[in-house]
Amino acid sequence: MNGGRLTTHVLDTARGKPAAGVKIMLYRVSGDSHHKIAETVTNADGRTDAPMLTGQDFTVGSYELVFCAGDYLRATGQAEGEVLFLDQIPIRFGVPDAAQHYHVPLLISPFAYSTYRGS
């Protein structure tokens, strides 16, 4: 069994605080195929209550996290309307070593986002 895991968190950079209540879906990607393997919602600290993926389920390959930022931005009064500049934000990344910890955070505002490989 490997010791690798995938974690994430969401920070609202416009408000300067964690983004609570953001729905996140995790997909395994192979070519043009996406297979949903997990779904969660961020807690009051903008984090997930548990890793998105761990143990033998966490394997070498390509993954995509999809953050439902639009719903969060509407709920916090930072965006309105049917069509938003940022709505669902996909972040596709590779896992070359499933024994490691991959932390893929999202920093959001109504008109920008960024990510990085955290620790």
DSSP conformation letters of the chain: ----EEE-BEEETTTTEE-TT-EEEEEEEETTEEEEEEEEE--TTSB-SS-SEEGGG--SEEEEEEEEHHHHHHHTTS--SSS-SSSEEEEEEEES-TTSEEE--EEEETTEEEE--B-
- Residue 117 domain flag: no
- Residue 37 domain flag: yes
Q: What is the pLDDT of residue 7?
A: 97
CATH number at residue 24: 2.60.40.180
- Residue 111 domain flag: no
- Residue 112 domain flag: no
Whole-model pTM?
0.94
Q: What is the pLDDT of residue 34?
A: 93
* Domain, as residue range, for 82: 5-105
Per-residue pLDDT tens over the stretch 10-21: 999 999 999 999
Per-residue pLDDT tens over the stretch 20-68: 999 999 999 999 899 999 999 999 999 999 999 999 999 999 999 999 9
- Residue 113 domain flag: no
- Looking at the structure of the chain, the number of domains it has is 1
